[in-house]
Amino acid sequence: MAAAEAQAPPYAPGSPAVFRGRGTLLLAVLSVALLVLAGVGFGLYLNERGELRETRSDLNTQLQEQRDTVTQRDAKIAETEQKVNDLTTELTTTKDNLSDITKERDVLLPCMRRAQDMFDAARDQNESRLRTALRQADTACSKAQSGID
């Protein structure tokens, strides 16, 4: 047995293990490759996450700009509607005034025509026509006066 003891074991308990065989080398290469792939995957994840934050920020900015635009347009629409209402009221008032003036004109028109007849008769120095025109003018203008009041 002395000869068996003299021979050193292939792996001594205190010495570092020596890699042997293709399996161990393949396992080491695969481990390094997986570690690199994990690092690349983690880097891509962080990159995508950053891009998503930027995209979200850009979209929020665009959304706020659109909301501001809508708010401004709503304010302009409300202002325009108010102007339309004001102009509609003014138009109604103007139509009413025009109607009143037209009625007054229609009431005054016979008086004015008789007065014109009176002036024409006076210019022509036609005494009988002037008296008739004066009487008709007095009657028409009295009716006009009562129609206006």
Q: How much is the average pLDDT of 87-116?
A: 91
Q: What is the pLDDT of residues 37-69, one digit of tens each?
A: 999 999 999 889 888 899 999 999 999 999 999
Worst-scoring range by mean pLDDT, 33-37, 46-50, 95-99? 46-50
Q: What is the pLDDT of residues 18-28, one digit of tens each?
A: 556 788 999 99
Count of beta carbons in the 10 Å neighbourhood of residue 113? 14
Q: Is the pTM of this model over 0.95?
A: no
State percent of the chain over pLDDT 70.
Answer: 86
Q: What is the pLDDT of residues 118-145, one digit of tens each?
A: 899 889 998 999 899 889 888 988 888 8
Gyration radius of the chain over CA positions: 56
Give the residue ranges of DSSP H helices in the chain: 2-6, 22-124, 127-148
In eight-state DSSP terms, residue 8 is P
| Cα-to-chain-centroid distance, residue 42 | 44
Between CA 68 and CA 54 the distance in angstroms is 21
